A = this chain, B = another copy of it.
Amino acid sequence: MPSLTLTALPGIPLVRPGDDLLAITLAGLGAAGLTLQTGDVLVYAQKIVSKAEGRLVDLATVVPSARAEELAAVTQKDARFIEVVLAETREVLRVRFNTLIVEHRLGFVCANAGVDRSNVGPHGEGTAEYLLMLPADPDGACRRLRDGLRAATGADVGVIINDSHGRAWRQGTVGVAIGVAGLPALLDLRGKPDLFDYALQITQVGLADELAAAASALMGQADEGRPIIHLRGVPYPFREGEAQELIRPREMDMFR
């Protein structure tokens, strides 16, 4: 009977800059009594990957540019925060009170380029004075975790880093994949016939986004509650993939 099981790895500590997510994952799998199998997927909350990478900015060191001051006046956000957002931004798409929607340097369209206040400073201290940026190279981070898990366990798994994004047209954030390795981000079903041999109208499925959303529902929103989710039972063959597959090219996007 086809089934998909998601398990939140227990006992994940507060992650600090320099921490080894591979070791943390292996300990969590052990604590869960799970033996990794080929075809499993691990989903990591963006925040712990960013923290492990030390993607922190000390607000006290940030000097806002004129452009940041200008956007701060419209949004009523801290100009230093905006400065850090702009450093991660390729294009500003919408600016309103309390709202700044941009294209991130990696192509994702999201609020504030994914920059958030951090609850952990560079030495692990609780603080309001640091900002956390997205991982430097989320696809690369996924590949390194995938390679490490393969070396440690022999299993070929998929790895996803997810983040919560708002959407056009719909209320509420959903988990999406900002990093992928070892599984198709986009599932190409073009030409696959349905039961009566018509070609399917739907051509491509955002598989990694669907799995990222599933994991997000179990993670909850508290920063470090359940930041690593193990999935078993994804009913598709794996191939190498990357989150960049999920980004609609600018010239094909009718809603900007």
Contacts and interface: CB of A to CB of B under 8 A. Distances in A.
Interface of A: 1-8, 10, 14, 32, 94, 96, 99, 101, 108-109, 116-117, 119, 126-128, 164, 167-176, 185-187, 189, 192, 194-196, 198, 200-202, 204-207, 209-211, 213-214, 216-218, 220-224, 226, 233-235, 245-248, 253-256
State the number of copies, please.
Answer: 2
A254 B218 CA distance: 29
Contact of A195 (B3, B7, B176, B224): B224
A29 to B, nearest CB: 12
Nearest to A127: B196
A131 to B, nearest CB: 11
A207 B216 CA distance: 9
Contacts of A173: 202, 204-206
B32 A1 contact: yes
B221 A200 contact: yes
A39 to B, nearest CB: 14
A247 B171 contact: yes
Contacts of A210: 174-175, 213-214, 216-217
- Which of A1, A176, A214, A234: most chain B Cβ within 10 A? A214
